[in-house]
Structure 1
Amino acid sequence: MRIERGLVAVITGAAGGIGHGLAQEAGARGLRLVLSDVDGQRLAALVDNLQGQGVEVAGLAADVGDPAQLDALRDLAVQRFGGVDLLFNNAGVMQTGFSWEIDAARWQSLLAINLGGVINGIRSFMPLLLGQQRPAQVINTASLAGLVCSPMLGPYTVSKQAVVALSETLHYELAALQSQVSAAVLCPGPVASEIMASNQASNQASNQAAGEATGQLDALLDSSIRQGMDPRALACEVFAGIEAGRFWLLPHKNFKPALERRLNSILEETNPVFEMADA
């Protein structure tokens, strides 16, 4: 699918990290944008910034875990621009800790956003995309955690592996329909963002203090993520992958030996052994 001026892109989780990079790059390429984020203040600042650059953009503060709010985002795109060409189901949060120590509320909250947000985006937008009778694409943001597993990232890993499975299923369904709509899944490693702040906020909301092991992991992850790939550079790779027609969007390549070890362990029926993968 060619990325051309005037196409309409919807991006969730647009106010920071990957979503912010996608919005900036899409705007620079002349796309018209419909952006959402749960943080209305940061979203408004982004919309103002893009409008100052001459980008046609609309914003809607929305919780992707609520199907009605995704319906409202779709309706805004239709009302403002007449349709949608690219849907980036991107919003996501982080949760760390031992799987059994993370309470039910925090499990459900993360799954509602990381997985439910993708499900709701697909359910809200797919009838529109199919009915337009023209090329369009759905790009779901997963993670390297969608392909390999790590300790103390249970909810995040579960959600991201489910996003990969859902994306692949969607790919097969669209192929069976011989549809002009296609699907892709983005599985990045560390990308510069403040996603770990969502982990801290979740813990504070549940009055849950991080244990020593979790605290050390949080510090390591936060440092790695903040020093990660520039979101704008990642966006350039994403758009290149879309134009190349790739389903697997894998901007970080060094994880592949870890994935190969995991696949070999499955095929050979050996017990998995965790080894830190380079980003």
Structure 2
Amino acid sequence: MVIEQGQVAVITGAAGGIGRGLAEEAGARGLRLVLSDVDGQRLAVLVEELQGRGVEVTSLVADVGDMQQVDALRDLAVQRFGGVDLVFNNAGVIQTGFSWEIAADRWQRLLDINLGGVINGIRSFMPLLLGQQRPAQVVNTASLAGLVCSPMLGPYTVSKQAVVALSETLHYELATIQSQVRVAVLCPGPVASDIMTSNSVVGGATQQLDSLLDTSIRQGMDPRELACEVFAGIAEGRFWLLPHKNFKPALERRLCSILDETNPVFQMAEA
């Protein structure tokens, strides 16, 4: 898809991390923005900063796990800008711990946001994008956890692997109807953010993991750098957006294990 000034981009989870990087890069490219996040205070700060740079932007405090709130985000985009060209289903949270020790409400909340948010985004925006009868792009944020598994990240891994599966299914569906709408799935490794603040501590077994994850994420790829790679991938028409390449040996081991029907063995990712 050709990215042009004046196009409209909707970004969920926009107040920090990947979402903020996407918003800043999209604004710098002359796109008009419709931003959402559950953190109204940080969202307002971002909107003010972008407006100060001359970006046309509107926002809505919204929980992507609630279909009605996602519909309201879509309606805001149409009312303000007349349509939508790019949808970034990006909002996400994380949860660590033994899968059986994580409370049911924490499991459900994570699934509602990480997976439900993407489902709601597709169900809400896809009829609009298809009805416009012009090129459009959906980008669903998954993770390397959408392609490989590791211990102590059960809910997160389940949600992200489902996002990958849903995105690939949507890709095939859009091809079947020869649509001008395209979908891509973003599977990054560590990207600088404070996503670990969404984590709820479960027992003491994950304290070391939580600390390592938090450090790794905060020292991860700059969100603006990631956004540049995302927009490059959109321009090239790529479905798989894989900014971190060092995970591929782990993915190869997993695929070989499946094909060879051998039991999986976890190994730490290569540096």
TM-score (norm 2): 0.99
1:153 and 1:189 mapped to 2: Cα distance? 14
The answer for the alignment partner of 1:81 in structure 2 is 81
The answer for the alignment partner of 2:188 in structure 1 is 188
Counting matched residue pairs gives: 271
**Aligned 1:223-238 pairs, distance under 5 A:** 223-238=215-230
The answer for the alignment partner of 2:53 in structure 1 is 53
1:256 and 1:221 mapped to 2: Cα distance? 20
Give the unaligned 5+ runs of structure 1: 204-208
1:272 to 2:247 alignment: no
Q: Identity over aligned residues, as a percent?
A: 85
The answer for the alignment partner of 2:66 in structure 1 is 66
The answer for the alignment partner of 1:174 in structure 2 is 174
Alpha-carbon displacement from aligned partner over 1:91-110 (angstroms, at most 9, x marks no partner): 00000000000010000000
Alpha-carbon displacement from aligned partner over 1:205-240 (angstroms, at most 9, x marks no partner): xxxx54332111000000000000000000000000
1:41 to 2:33 alignment: no
The answer for the alignment partner of 1:125 in structure 2 is 125
Q: 2:248 aligns with which of 246, 249, 256?
A: 256
Runs of 4+ in 1 over 2 A off after TM superposition: 209-213
2:122 and 2:41 mapped to 1: Cα distance? 26
Alpha-carbon displacement from aligned partner over 1:142-172 (angstroms, at most 9, x marks no partner): 0000000000000000000000000000000
CA RMSD of aligned residues (A): 0.7
1:41 and 1:197 mapped to 2: Cα distance? 16
Q: Which amino acid aligns with 1:82?
A: G
8 Å contact 2:101–2:202 — kept in the other structure? no
TM-score (norm 1): 0.96
Q: 1:219 aligns with which of 198, 211, 224?
A: 211
1:235 and 1:213 mapped to 2: Cα distance? 34
The answer for the alignment partner of 1:20 in structure 2 is 20
Q: Which amino acid aligns with 1:52?
A: G
1:50 and 1:187 mapped to 2: Cα distance? 26
